[in-house]
Amino acid sequence: MTRAWGISVAVFCIILAGLLGCADRRSDLRCEPGLVRSCACPGGLEGIQPCAADGSRWLGCQGCGARNAGFGTVAALGPGGGTGGAGPTDPGNLIPNAALSVPGPERDAPAGWTFNRWGRSAAKGTWLESGGVSGGGALRVEVSRHGDGDAKWHFRRVRLAGDAWYSYSDFHRSDGRSRMVLSCRRGSDGVVSYRNIWQSEASAAWRREEVRFYLGPAADCEATIFHLVDRTGFLETSLAALVPVEPRPLARPLVSLAFDDGWKSAVTTARADLEERGFTGSYYLVKSFIGDPGGRYASAADLRALLAASRKGHEIGSHTAYHHLLGSLSAPLRRQELRENLDWLRGLGVTGAGLAYPFGDFDDRVGVEARALHPYARTSFDGLNDAATDRYRITVLPVTAGTETAEILARIDDAVRTSTWLVLLFHDVGAPDPADPYRTSTTQFTAVLDRLAEGDAAVVTVAAALKEIGEQAAPVR
Ligand SMILES: [Zn+2]
């Protein structure tokens, strides 16, 4: 256990002591279901320990284990450990000089790699020639002062073929959360686009993250991945790999229509639009938003109508009680955010509610609590879901006022072509409003529903999609 982890556990225990009694060395410990606390894994990595569902004991330390994809599946590697997945010398790895062993012309950066920063911040990038996994190279980003913008190392763009799946992975050590962004530069006109595809967590030991993504047939993409730092702190990365991977199709293409926050338009007129076409939607509600004085969100009467409609197939999920950033809350408040909304939903007769993270914000601890309380969790990361998808890292196409209709229709085509599952995430629907970035125009919404009415993909709720995927041969992790 590092000193920092030790301090955080100690502070956590002091907070807990007042609430529950933090007698973590006693064998007869009791705890509150849903609560999690830090614990030490063998080798010094920090893990997370949830309370048993019946409150009788703390369960074993989680997050220390061997798998390598997502939160709660940590690969902890000391020097000399294995790498898993593609390595820097893997012939399938598309990243040039992934081993970071060849110096560039300036000799302060590896060949094919560039350090870049933008915004009001102070940041520096360092090439550590032997500071990486197994004594290989690593790249360090250190942001000493952050106002806005970000800093990152990135590899020279590589041309990716369309209609193909790829996996990006790397190992990292850091003191906070970092984002992974797929940047595509169009070969035809040089226009650059960005997609938030995943994130990494604080980790004192080397930890591997992997994310799969699909590029449609029309993709004209010279790609690089920004594993970036947009906060004060550091990130080191090593053994980056970008490789084509096999598709993991579902038995049939699926599309889900998700609506966050309980906007009035979503639960009234948009719901009517769905029902007109025989569709059902997934509505993620926030207790404290219902009946707001401004009338932007569902009224009590709208809620009653939605509850009645849910008996005909619509899904109601949780979006927490007060819509706070879950990753920024203390453990007791975080737990309250989740449980209070769940209790409220149960009081309305809604059981087994899935979770949509407010602002898409989560971290390891939030992920463990989500697993303890909810049958699934939906992120706001951009991507298609396939048979390899973890039900606690469901991805979406976030639709905002800036999303082009053609982009949504192309993504539906992608899901149909690849037999995968697309979750379209909406908020407010109505006449365009420049002041409301979360409003989807009725025209666009209608165009999407009309496309779906052609029947190439089954329109099902998120819960129904997970049930269907779970029943297939390739289990959802
Ligand atoms: Zn929201």
Same domain, 267 and 222: no
The pLDDT assigned to 54 comes to: 60
- Same structural domain for residues 339 and 412? yes
Would you say residue 300 lies in a domain? yes
One domain, residues 207 and 261: no
Residues 41 and 148 in one domain: no
Closest CA to 53 of 35, 69, 41: 35
pLDDT band at 135 (very low <50, low <70, confident <90, very high): confident
**Domain membership flag for residue 199:** yes
Shared-domain flag, residues 137 and 241: yes
What rounded mean pLDDT belongs to the chain? 85
Q: At 406, which helix (H) or strand (E)?
A: helix 405-418
Q: How far is the CA of 292 from the centre of ligand 1 (A)?
A: 15
Q: Which tokens hold the place of 144?
A: 């000493």
Determine the pLDDT at residue 176. 96
Query: Is the same domain home to 325 and 437?
Result: yes
Ligand 1 centroid to Cα of residue 335, in Å, is 18
* 57, part of any domain: no
Tell me: pLDDT of 257 over 80: yes
CA of 47 to the centre of ligand 1 (A): 28
φ, ψ of residue 326 to 5 degrees: the values are: -65, -35
With contact defined as beta carbons under 8 Å apart, do 414 and 429 qualify?
Answer: no
How many A from CA of 319 to the centre of ligand 1? 7
Same domain membership, residue 279 and residue 237 = no
Tokens of 341: 């909304």
3-state secondary structure 412-444: HHHHHHHCCEEEEEECEEECCCCCCCCEEEHHH
The predicted model gives 95-101 an average pLDDT of: 94
CA of 343 to the centre of ligand 1 (A): 19
CATH of the domain at 372: 3.20.20.370
Single pTM value for the model: 0.80
For residue 359, the CA-to-ligand 1 centroid distance in Å is: 6
Angle at 303 between CA 302 and CA 305, to 5 degrees: 65
Amino acid at 166: Y
CA dihedral 355, 320, 198, 245 (to 10 degrees): 0
Structure tokens at 392: 């606690």
- Please tell me whether residue 180 adopts helix, strand or coil conformation: strand
Q: Which of 20-29, 272-281, 369-378 is least confident?
A: 20-29
Lowest mean pLDDT, pick from 44-58, 77-91, 182-196, 297-311: 77-91
**Which residues is 113 bridged to in the sheet?**
155
Sign of the torsion angle spanned by Cα atoms 118, 121, 126, 132: negative
Same domain as 458, residue 311 = yes
282 Cα to the center of ligand 1, angstroms:
13
Is 267 found in the same domain as 177? Answer: no
Tokens, residue 425: 């995430």
Instruction: Please give the structure tokens belonging to residue 218.
Output: 């029309």
CATH of the domain at 208: 2.60.120.260
Cα distance between residue 476 and residue 20, in whole Å: 36
Instruction: State residue 49's pLDDT score.
Output: 52
Cβ atoms of 258 and 424 closer than 8 Å: yes
pLDDT of 324 > 70? The answer is yes
pLDDT at 17: 32
Distance 24 CA to ligand 1 centre (A): 36
Question: Where is average pLDDT lowest: 2-11, 145-154, 283-292?
Answer: 2-11
Task: Centre a 10 Å sphere on the Cβ of residue 91 and count the other Cβ atoms it contains.
Answer: 6
Ligand 1 centroid vs 323 CA: distance in angstroms? 6
* Ramachandran sector of residue 369 (left: φ over 0; alpha: ψ -120 to 50; beta: rest): alpha
Query: Do 119 and 9 belong together in one domain?
Result: no
Q: Give CA–CA dist 353/462, Å, rounded.
A: 11
**Cα 17 from Cα 21, distance rounded (Å):** 4
pLDDT tens, residue by residue, 309-319: 999 899 999 99
Whole-Å CA distances, 43 to 50, 64, 132, 175? 20, 9, 17, 17
Question: 312 versus 280: which is more confidently predicted?
Answer: 280
Domain encompassing residue 430: 254-470
Q: What is the mean pLDDT of residues 202-213?
A: 95
Residue with tokens 């819960």: 463
Distance 61 CA to ligand 1 centre (A): 31
**32 shares its domain with 141:** no
Q: Is residue 463 part of a domain?
A: yes
| Number of domains into which the chain is organized | 3
* List of residues 6+ apart from 272 with CB closer than 8 A: none
CA triplet 271, 286, 345: central angle to 5 degrees?
85
The answer to whether position 148 is within a domain reads: yes
Report how far ligand 1's centroid is from the alpha carbon of 178 (Å). Answer: 21
Quick one: 440 exposed, middle or buried, by C-beta within 10 A (0-12, 13-18, 19+)?
A: buried
Q: What pLDDT, on a 0 to 100 scale, did the predictor assign at position 43?
A: 52
Give the distance (Å) from ligand 1 centre to CA of residue 70: 22
